[in-house]
Structure 1
């Protein structure tokens, strides 16, 4: 993530929190932190964003700090967010867009039950360059619908 750098300061975090409050208030996004329930350690972040008002769906995104990867936090976040999207927001679809060369993120999405629909050309802009990306979806009631409890060590707030 380009924003995750050594110079990231308290002011950057405060600006992000203000942004999160604003998008939640206007309904254009729902951003959450991912924390280890036992220690309270910040593990990563996740959210529903890029709300498509015409068709009523969100993009679902997630990131997990390197030291916490491969412990189930991203999968738990996808589960929690998709349940929130379907049960609370009553959405009919959530999309996950993953850069073509991001195999770990693609694996998380598919492990969580997202269905790979296509490889979209120039779908993302990463570091100033266009990149192909897989578009995956979750829909309520489909065979790919997520279920089951969250990991006892993961909390979203």
Structure 2
């Protein structure tokens, strides 16, 4: 049995645009529901523009989007990263999504763990939040599997499908990581 990782988490490159587009299209029905950036008419140009945006965000030290890749095939299977950074308070947010055919396999946990390591080790953050809609049970399980602590249900915390919604706020500090 091999101990080689099944997944790789790294910065996106322009050469990943086609694979990123394929992952989004394969999961379009689920992503349209959860992700405000996704629409039924998502195009290859949208994928390319997103990757260019990720490069700009990294260059500006503003946000740190990452791709999730199958270690064997190199296919894009999702995204993660650290965003909503407040440098004065050394806090940020972790987000993640996984293509439909790869859900339930530990991909989101693996990727979110890598984002947390980036936040704590490389960015010097001391607190990371994972903010989850109250009905998103899968994301709640990911947060809990990382060792994140549920702090509260925050009223009107996320704007979702055109309306404010309550969300659960989980926190991670460096000692929490499992």
Give the TM-score of the pair, scaled to structure 2. Answer: 0.77
Residue of structure 2 in register with 1:39 after alignment: 73
- Which structure has more relative contact order (CA 8 Å, sep 6+)? It is 1
1:111 aligned residue (117, 120, 145): 145
1:128 and 2:165 matched: no
Residue of structure 1 in register with 2:117 after alignment: 83
Deviation at 1:126, TM superposition (A): 0.7
2:105 aligned residue (52, 63, 71): 71
1:4 and 2:4 matched: no
Cα RMSD for the two superposed structures: 1.2
Deviation at 1:89, TM superposition (A): 1.3
| Deviation by residue 1:69-127 (Cα, 9 ceiling, x = unmatched) | 00111000111111111111111111110001101110111011111111000000011
Residue of structure 2 in register with 1:59 after alignment: 93
Deviation at 1:36, TM superposition (A): 0.7
Which protein has the bigger helix share?
2
1:102 aligned residue (121, 132, 136): 136
Deviation at 1:51, TM superposition (A): 1.1
Runs of 4+ residues over 4 Å off in structure 1: none
Residue of structure 1 in register with 2:177 after alignment: 145
CA contact (8 A) 2:97 2:108 kept: yes
CA contact (8 A) 2:159 2:165 kept: yes
Residue of structure 2 in register with 1:92 after alignment: 126
Give the unaligned 5+ runs of structure 2. Answer: 1-34
Deviation at 1:54, TM superposition (A): 2.7
Give the TM-score of the pair, scaled to structure 1. Answer: 0.87
d(CA) in 2 for partners of 1:63 and 1:34? 9
Deviation at 1:68, TM superposition (A): 0.6
After alignment, is 49-58 or 117-126 more displaced? 49-58
d(CA) in 2 for partners of 1:23 and 1:3? 16
